[in-house]
Amino acid sequence: MSAPAQPLRLGIAGLGTVGIGVVKIVQRHAEMLTARTGRPVTITAVSARDRTKNRDADLSAYAWETDPVALATRDDVDVFVELMGGHEGTAKDATIAALNAGKDVVTANKALLAHHGQELAELAEGAGRVIRYEAAVAGGIPVIKSLTEGLAGNAIRRVMGVMNGTCNYILTRMETAGLPYDTVFEEARQLGYLEADPNLDVGGIDAGHKLSILAAIAFGTKVSFDNVVLEGIGCISIDDIRRAADMGYKIKLLGVAQMTGRGLEQRMTPCLVPAASPLGQLQGGTNMVVIEGDSVGQIVLRGAGAGEGPTASAVMGDVLDIARGLRLPTFGQPATSLADPIPAAVSAPAPFYLRLQLVDKPGALAKIASALGDAGVSISRMRQYGHADTTAPVLIVTHKTTRDAIDVAIAALPGTGVVDGAPVALRIEEV
Amino acid sequence: MSAPAQPLRLGIAGLGTVGIGVVKIVQRHAEMLTARTGRPVTITAVSARDRTKNRDADLSAYAWETDPVALATRDDVDVFVELMGGHEGTAKDATIAALNAGKDVVTANKALLAHHGQELAELAEGAGRVIRYEAAVAGGIPVIKSLTEGLAGNAIRRVMGVMNGTCNYILTRMETAGLPYDTVFEEARQLGYLEADPNLDVGGIDAGHKLSILAAIAFGTKVSFDNVVLEGIGCISIDDIRRAADMGYKIKLLGVAQMTGRGLEQRMTPCLVPAASPLGQLQGGTNMVVIEGDSVGQIVLRGAGAGEGPTASAVMGDVLDIARGLRLPTFGQPATSLADPIPAAVSAPAPFYLRLQLVDKPGALAKIASALGDAGVSISRMRQYGHADTTAPVLIVTHKTTRDAIDVAIAALPGTGVVDGAPVALRIEEV
């Protein structure tokens, strides 16, 4: 008989839904996990703010640490599982302490990676440790693994994604229920779908964190969240959702990262996508990531982006890789070899959707067309709607143009004297 | 200065589109691959049937072997890349020879794995070698990796997939062009979409191979292709495609593997799926795999299932894992620990779609309903179509029932005297 394999011992900091989800998997599937990795996966110690809180799992067999740093550095912990969140303070301190103490780290903390990914990766790799973070991006979808490993033979052309379920829920619900943004936002708040700071969701920050992590892997550059162009969904009206649908599009908070001749482009902005595309068909809180490689073409990954089970599944995928001895640099290649990204000053050309309120008088449409033409924007499709008022909604889909040209055109429109209020301009992403 | 890392040296047998695709990636991306794996990936030797054939890549730097076994056992080859195909003969011999000579193996050969997976896995693991086969299932989609690694924390409930692009092309084309099966089959043949033995495609064998491989990983059982229930798409008429669409469904050649209380169920059969589901929306030659886990819920993976680039991308993913030292047992857990599958004698209950030609006389529908009722089949929805003839098409969607009960009902229908010809019965898979 051979000696039993050494167990892999976890220390889990943070016992919210995800932490408890991880505990449940370890408890429920002990035998299966051992069969798959060749060694038992156990929990040594846990930590959370409030020990007395009633939690949906039996934690009595685990040591309790009040201080996550103490947890992270325990001699009987092999892997520090960081599920506290927040990109400064304890989460960061405990992660650094764990790496310095020779522990591997598994985290669901997108903000931590987006803000300190390079520093942490260098620290980990210098110490011969790994940081794994599948749960930080798109919940249960194995997108980090697919991009870093499965598609590693590809020069990545573009990574896109709907990666904030709350925003997609809000936009979908506005459309299906015909409700304005503010009402649905309030619904989402009451359903507990929003972060304590809702701007993390609806401002695109949370999804922007995720995009910056994917971009680093895809393009071999240092994570640069500061260079993500962020626009939230607060500007999206039910009118735009309906008009876009009329033209065959859906509006999504879409992340796009691509390396262009002008540099690295990272955008997390509301975009129109074709209604019949996989991204256009995505309803509710589900996430989707689209990866385009020079050999593989387009790969689409779809699944739950949040929640106890899906996020814990991703955490466990990382834990099991460590148990099996599968070890890679944080972003797929050594952190010291990652390039400083040169942010693209302008985004790649695209068609745009324009909505404006036309003052209905003779020659008005011609004035619009002329103002757009002067800005170098040419019209692909235009639609004027019937109206009861003195103004009429007009929709325009342009040919491919630049954001700059669109901004020039929008700035010129008030001068025509035939546009009421501020026009709306949204990029149409070709997917 | 540290010594340069040892290159990983490939020997490639089979220089069809996939083999040449691999050569092109190695040549085009030498620098990127080295950055990602920390060592150069090189090609030492190649082999194919016809040396004189004009190929779309410069092979002059590689040794040529006429005998794939000789290639597989060369001292200067680390990884034998088997892209010849076929589950007996040279592909098998060379794979065994490679493993015995201490080489790792990367293959795109689904038939080889489906028929000899257990034997090869035991051989490889006994020799401390790996066999990797991402390219064998669903082309460029990283499904083997997702299932084996990313989702390893889940008890898998069900794996489904559209994994033969040719069949999905035929079914989609029948619908969009309104053409009968035979015509589209002939089109597909002329376009070169069909295997030399078309039954591998339209009979479901090729897709069945893939399903049996996924089932082994998902359920920790030995590959058992012989237990896959196979039905081809030759029985699908344009009428069924249209009628199914009327009821909100699409017809797909759908693979389903699930572990039930009655044992392991593996089916590769034409099924109806909701038109609005990701599987229902899949058009043309694209592949899709749906994985359902107890924690993660439903993960959907979509991409090109064949072709030079996508398949070569999958081969390279495996090669790069080996270059990076990521090594796992063939089916995720040691081959000797895989269970003998107990095939389910009956498939899980489901709603069924029935189409029959009703002889139009008073009380006819009642007789049908009664015959179904006697077989224990209850009706959820029924639709009778207008007709110019003495018979009328009738569509029935049943409540959940068993295939056995449906078969009993179908056997009883001719006895009613009101059914013309043979009824069609197709399972409706709840996705």
pLDDT tens for each residue of A197-212: 999 999 999 999 999 9
Question: Number of residue pairs across A and B with CB atoms under 8 Å?
Answer: 187
Asked if B297 is an interface residue toward chain A (Cβ–Cβ < 8 A), one would say yes
User: Which range (A47-51, A228-232, A383-387, B115-119) has the least confidence?
Assistant: A383-387
Contact A310 B295 (CB under 8 A): yes
Q: Which CATH number fits domain A143-305: 3.40.1800.10, 3.10.129.10, 3.40.640.10, 3.30.360.10?
A: 3.30.360.10
pLDDT in tens, A332-371: 999 999 999 999 988 899 999 999 999 988 899 999 999 9
Beta bridge partners of A283: none
CB contact under 8 A, A317 and B29: no
The pLDDT tens digits of the residues spanning B132-147 come to 999 999 999 999 999 9
Strand order in the sheet with A131-132: A63-64, A41-47, A8-13, A79-82, A104-107, A131-132
Q: Is A110 annotated as a binding residue?
A: yes
Quick one: tokens of A60? 């009595």
Q: Are strands A229-230 and A249-260 parallel, antiparallel or unpaired?
A: unpaired
Please give the CATH topology (third level) of the domain spanning B143-304: Dihydrodipicolinate Reductase; domain 2 (3.30.360)
Across the range B311-327, mean pLDDT stands at 98
Alpha-carbon gap: A276 to the closest alpha carbon of chain B (Å): 9
* pLDDT tens per residue, range B71-114: 999 999 999 999 999 998 999 999 999 999 999 999 999 999 99
CA distance A24 to A22: 5
Do the Cβ atoms of B300 and A298 come within 8 Å? no
Query: How far is B287 from B166, CA to CA, in rounded Å?
Result: 10
Which of the residues of B are catalytic? Answer: 210
Inter-chain CB proximity A149 and B320 less than 8 Å: yes
Q: Which residues of B63-82 are buried (b: 16+ CB within 10 A; e: fewer)?
A: bebeebbbbbbbeebbbbbb
Q: Does B137 touch chain A (CB under 8 A)?
A: no
Cβ A337–B35 below 8 Å, yes or no? yes
Q: Which of B133, B22, B8, B285 is nearest to A154 (CA)?
A: B22
Contact at CB, A309 and B295, closer than 8 angstroms? yes
Query: Within a 10 A sphere around the Cβ of B111, how many other Cβ atoms?
Result: 20
pLDDT reading at A380 higher than 80: yes
- The average pLDDT across A314-329 equals 98
* Catalytic-residue membership of A103: no
**Are A332 and B298 within 8 A, CB to CB?**
no
Integer Cα distance of A84 and B219 in angstroms: 33
CA A409-A412-A415 angle, to 5 degrees, is 150
Measured at the CA of A199, the angle between CA A198 and CA A204, to 5 degrees, comes to 120
| Burial status of residue A35 (CB atoms within 10 A of its CB: 0-12, 13-18, 19 or more) | middle
Would you state the structure tokens that stand for residue A70, as one six-digit string?
A: 């103490």
- Tell me the DSSP string of B157-208: EEEEEE--HHHHHHHHHHHHHT--HHHHHHHHHHTT-S-SSTHHHHTSHHHH
Start-to-end Cα distance in chain A:
57
Q: How far apart are CA A208 and CA A199, in angstroms?
A: 12
Interface of A with B in 156-215 (CB under 8 A): none
β-pairing verdict for A379-384 and A391-398: antiparallel
Contacts with B244 (C-beta within 8 Å, 6 or more apart), sequence order: B250, B251, B272, B353, B426
According to DSSP, residue B350 is labeled: B
Distance from CA of B411 to the nearest CA of A (A): 41
Q: What is the mean pLDDT of residues B47-67?
A: 95
Q: Quick one: pLDDT at residue A361?
A: 85
- Which residues in chain B are closer than 8 Å to A172, comparing Cβ atoms? none
B243's CB contacts (< 8 A; 6+ apart) are: B355, B393, B395
- Report chain A residues whose CB lies below 8 A from the CB of B337: 35
Domains B8-136 and B143-304 alike in fold = no
Please check the confidence at residue B21 and state whether its pLDDT lies above 50. Answer: yes
With an 8 Å Cβ cutoff, is B296 touching chain A?
A: yes
pLDDT digits (tens, 9 = 90+) for A125-158: 999 999 999 999 999 999 999 999 999 999 999 9
Nearest to A295 among B21, B142, B146 (CB): B21
Provide CB contacts within 8 A for A320, sequence distance 6+.
A33, A36, A37, A41, B149, B152, B153
pLDDT tops 80 at residue A282 = yes
Mean predicted lDDT score pLDDT of chain A? 95
With an 8 Å Cβ cutoff, are A300 and B300 in contact?
A: yes
Per-residue pLDDT of A394-421, as tens digits, reads 999 999 999 999 999 999 999 999 999 9
Euclidean distance between CA atoms A387 and B423, whole angstroms: 54
Could you tell me the CA-to-CA distances from B272 to B38, B247, B397, B428 in Å, in that order? 47, 10, 11, 5
Instruction: For chain B, give every domain's residue range.
Output: 8-136, 143-304, 352-428
Q: Are A307 and B307 in contact (CB under 8 A)?
A: no
Distance of residue B302 Cα from the nearest chain A Cα, in angstroms: 5
- Report the sign of the C-alpha dihedral through residues A213, A214, A217, A219, in that order: negative
Contact call for B297 and A303, based on CB within 8 A:
yes
What angle is formed at CA B312 by the lines to CA B308 and CA B314, rounded to 5 degrees?
130
pLDDT of B347: 87
**What is the least distance, in Å, from the CA of B295 to any CA of chain A?**
4
Q: What residues in B contact A299, CB-CB < 8 Å?
A: 140-142, 301-303
Which site among B149, B157, B321 would you substitute to test the A interface, given the most A Cβ atoms closer than 10 Å to its Cβ?
B149
Q: What is the ipTM of this complex?
A: 0.96
- The answer to whether the CB of B48 falls within 8 A of the CB of B15 is yes
The third-level CATH classification (topology) of the domain covering A352-428 is Alpha-Beta Plaits (3.30.70)
Residues 6+ apart with CB under 8 A from B365: B358, B382, B384, B394
Residue for token pair 């078309």: B198
Give the nearest partner residue to B296 out of A32, A140, A294, using CB atoms: A140
According to CATH, what is the number of the domain B8-136? 3.40.50.720
- The bridge status of strand B79-82 relative to strand B63-64 is unpaired
**Residue B134 counted as an annotated binding residue:** no
Q: Who contacts B204 (Cβ-Cβ below 8 Å, separation ≥6)?
A: B164, B167, B230, B231, B232, B233, B253, B268, B269
> Of B124, B114, B108, which Cα lies nearest the Cα of B318?
B108
What's the CA angle centered on A7, arms A4 and A12, to 5 degrees?
165
- b (16+ CB within 10 A) / e for B350-364: bbbbbbbbbbbeeeb
Residue from B34, B259, B295, B324 whose CB has the most chain A CBs within 10 Å, to mutate: B295
DSSP assignment of A315-375 equals HHHHHHHHHTT----TTSS-GGGPBPP-B-SSPPPB-EEEEEEEE-STTHHHHHHHHHHHT
The phi and psi torsions of A182 (rounded to 5 degrees) equal -60, -40
H/E stretch holding A218: helix A205-219
Active-site residue, from A210, A222, A250, A367: A210
- Cβ within 8 Å of A, B 36-65: 36-38
Backbone angles phi, psi at A136, to 5 degrees: -75, -20
Of A140, A154, A319, the CB nearest to B313: A154
- Say what the pLDDT of residue A385 is: 87
Residues from chain A contacting residue B322 (CB–CB below 8 Å): none
From the candidates A313, A333, A338, which should be mutated to test the interface with B, based on the most B CB atoms within 10 A? A313
By the CB < 8 Å criterion, does B321 face chain A? yes
Per-residue pLDDT, averaged over B186-214, amounts to 95
Question: What distance in Å separates the CA atoms of residue A151 and residue B310, rounded to the nearest whole number?
Answer: 10
Query: Could you tell me which of A85, A46, A86 has the C-alpha nearest to residue A66?
Result: A46
pLDDT-derived band of residue A390, with 50, 70 and 90 as boundaries?
Answer: confident
Are the CB atoms for B368 and B255 separated by under 8 Å?
Answer: no
* A324: nearest CB among B134, B324, B328: B328
Q: Is the distance from CB of B166 to CB of B352 less than 8 angstroms?
A: no
Q: Is the pLDDT of residue B3 over 70?
A: no
